[in-house]
Structures are given as C-alpha cells and as structure tokens.
Homo-oligomer: A and B are copies of this chain.
Amino acid sequence: MTDEPMADDTPFLSVDLARLDRNLTAVADRARELGIDLRPHAKTHKCAQLARRQIDSGAVGLTVATIGEAEAFADALAPTVSDLFIAYPLWVTEHKGARLRSLARRTRLRLAIDSVAGARQLAAVLADVPVEVVVEVDSGQHRTGVVADKAGALARAADDLGLHVVGVFTFPGHGYGPGPARRRAADDEFEALTQAARSLRDNGIDPVVRSGGSTPTIGFASAEVLTEIRPGVYPFNDAQQLELGSCTADDVALTAIATVVHRSGTRIVIDAGSKIVGADRPAWTSGFGRLLEAPTAVVTSLSEHHAVIDFPIDHPAVLIPDPGTTVRMVPNHVCTAVNLVDELIVPMADGPADRWPVIARGANS
C-alpha cells in the first residue's frame, strides 16, 4: 500500500519531509501572525535535525521536559540553539543541581517552580547562577502547577529567595478531548494566565513571560495574554490530533512502516506493536492508532509486536491487505513512539534515505 523504497526491515518509523516542513511553516506563520514567540517542545522529536529546522522557521528556542533532554540539545546544537526552557517543576537534588549549573554555563536557561519547597531547593543549589524562573499555573489539567491566584505569592517567595522570576506558564492538557474540549481548554488557559499575571503584578513582579499552548489549542491561542506558545506534536501530528480534528490525514508526517503478517477475513495483524508505536490509548480515541491508508479500519488491540486491525464487516475483500503487504500505521501519540527508536528514517526524493538520530531518547532524568 506504499511504494516507498524499503530502506530497512519493518517495523520502523518514517518521516515525510515535505509534510513535516509544511507543518513547521504553518505553525511558525501562525505565531508570527499573532506576534508571539514560538518555543516548540522538543520532547516530541528529540532530534537535532528537527530542532534546527524549527529554529530556522522562526522558533526563539526550545522547550524540553528533563535535564537530560536539555543536555542533549545544548550539546548537539550549540551555538545555534542557546535558549532552553525545562517546563517541569524539577525537584533539584544536589546532583541535579550540579547538572543544571553546568547547563547554565552553556545555554540560556529557564526553569519552572510550582511550590515554595521546590523554589527553596532551586535557590539552594542555583543561588549564584543566572537562570530565569517561571511559575507553573494549573489551568485545568490538575497535574502540576499552582492555582492561578496563588501564583503571585509563590513568585514573591521565590524572588525573596533570590530567584529571578520572569513570568508564568501553563499546559492546557485537558484540551486533549473530543468536541468542545480544545476550545474550553484554550479559554481556561486564557483565564488562568490572565489571573496569574495579575497575581504576579499584585506582588510586585512583572510577568514578562506568559507561556502556554499545545498543538490542539494553537488555533484558539490569544495574543491578548500569551507571549509564547510551546506546541510539541505539530511537526509530525498523530492519530490523537487526527481524531481531535486539529489536523487532517494529509498533515501526518510520521508513520510506522509495518508488514501485514496475518489475515483472517476482515481482520489483519501487522508487525508494529506497542514497542514501536507506544501503548497510549485515551478513552476517547477509536483505537490504538490508525492505518493511514484505511480510515475506516480500527486498531482494536495492541501487543508488543502485533497490532490487530479490523476492517468493517462489509469492506471490499480485495481492499484488505494480504500478508506481506507494507502499510503505514499512525501512532496515537507520536512523542512516545519516537522515544522507542534510535533513529527516524527520512526518505529522500533523490538518493538514499536520511537517518535522524533520536539524541534524547530515554533521557528521563
């Protein structure tokens, strides 16, 4: 079902470069229209080649989730990328503190806090280091972050501890849901950041940075409050974004190339399982991913090396792929899929496929 040259044995993850570049341009243009900064989350791709393309398309720097990701990008991209935000309320032990001090010598560094205890840890190990700090605000996902109207008190406490607080950020993760969820999460983000910014001002701190955004909420982003967006998934998109309606099938730029190994009637089994596409399966999704070529087929179950895919009972038999056929599976969540492979295969129009090392794969700490 694809005539792509087989650079490797299946399964492997393959990138469509034309689609990728189109996705990068679309979001960079959107940020420019809004007049706000784009700081893409690099946890999605973990690739130096992709980070460079994001910077070239206009990103001001990168967002990462861990110290390890920051180290990987600081090493691989210097001096092109020298502005990293670790968007996570780290608990900074002495050893993590030493790693952060080393990082701060190599790159501009922004860190996150969401408690006075966390701020105290940070201040203890980074007192003399020039890092920016932002307060994480819970805008409705109820994961980490403080309630918006408490942001100022935390910022005040951090400032008193000697930290350089520059603003607030949130992740409207509850926008990952069907129907009105995206719009509502964007509204919640607007309200939470507005309130948090006011709370900082009330405590004598200027909220210069008001950072938010996610791939599903980009379309609803408002420059009235946001100074920066941090979408991650948009270069590749995935089955979640497809089902949320935040992209179309033509915008999917990464797939698992897999081989059909079994067929019984309208059921097929392919050799891509949870060890290459990830096991993510939110309740609102139709299955464990999608076949790019067959939008009505459902990925009904996933084992480590099998995806079981059911076609509609009245699907034309001749259109159901037989064993040996190559197909393209769209992962539900591209960030966890990429984290399972050592490199992404990037077919080129002329000549052999490019190979992009996933430099921050497994960088969990």
A280-B275 in contact given A9-B95, A306-B143, A365-B8 (Cβ < 8 Å):
no
Other-chain contact of A275, B67, B173, B341, B364 (Cβ < 8 Å): B364
Is there a chain B Cβ closer than 8 Å to A340's Cβ?
A: yes
- How near does chain B come to A301, taking the closest CB pair, in angstroms? 7
Is there a chain B Cβ closer than 8 Å to A66's Cβ?
A: yes
- Could you say how many copies of this chain the assembly holds? 2
Is there a chain B Cβ closer than 8 Å to A43's Cβ?
A: yes
Q: Are B365 and A117 in contact (CB under 8 A)?
A: no
Query: Please, how many residues of chain A have a CB less than 8 angstroms from a CB on the other chain?
Result: 62
Q: Are B275 and A336 in contact (CB under 8 A)?
A: yes
User: Which residue of chain B has its CB nearest to the CB of A256?
Assistant: B364
Please choose the segment from A30-38, A47-55, A86-94 that sits at the chain B interface, where 4 or more of its residues have CB less than 8 A away. A86-94
How far apart are the CA atoms of A69 and B336 in the complex, in Å? 21
Decide if the interface of chain A is mainly helix, strand, loop or mixed.
loop
Q: Are B91 and A261 in contact (CB under 8 A)?
A: yes
User: Which residues of chain A in 331-348 are interfacial with respect to chain B, using CB atoms and an 8 Å cutoff?
Assistant: 333, 335-336, 339-342
Other-chain contact of A340, B276, B324, B339 (Cβ < 8 Å): B339
User: Which residues of chain A in 251-299 are interfacial with respect to chain B, using CB atoms and an 8 Å cutoff?
Assistant: 259-263, 267, 269, 271-272, 274-276, 278-281
Is there a chain B Cβ closer than 8 Å to A16's Cβ?
A: no
Which 6 interchain pairs have the tightest Cβ spacing? A9-B365, A279-B279, A279-B280, A144-B262, A276-B364, A91-B259
Task: Report 23 cross-chain contacts, Cβ distance below 8 Å, ordered by A residue.
Answer: A9-B95, A9-B365, A12-B364, A65-B305, A66-B305, A90-B261, A91-B259, A91-B260, A115-B262, A117-B322, A117-B324, A118-B323, A142-B267, A143-B269, A143-B301, A143-B303, A143-B308, A144-B261, A274-B278, A276-B364, A340-B340, A340-B364, A341-B362
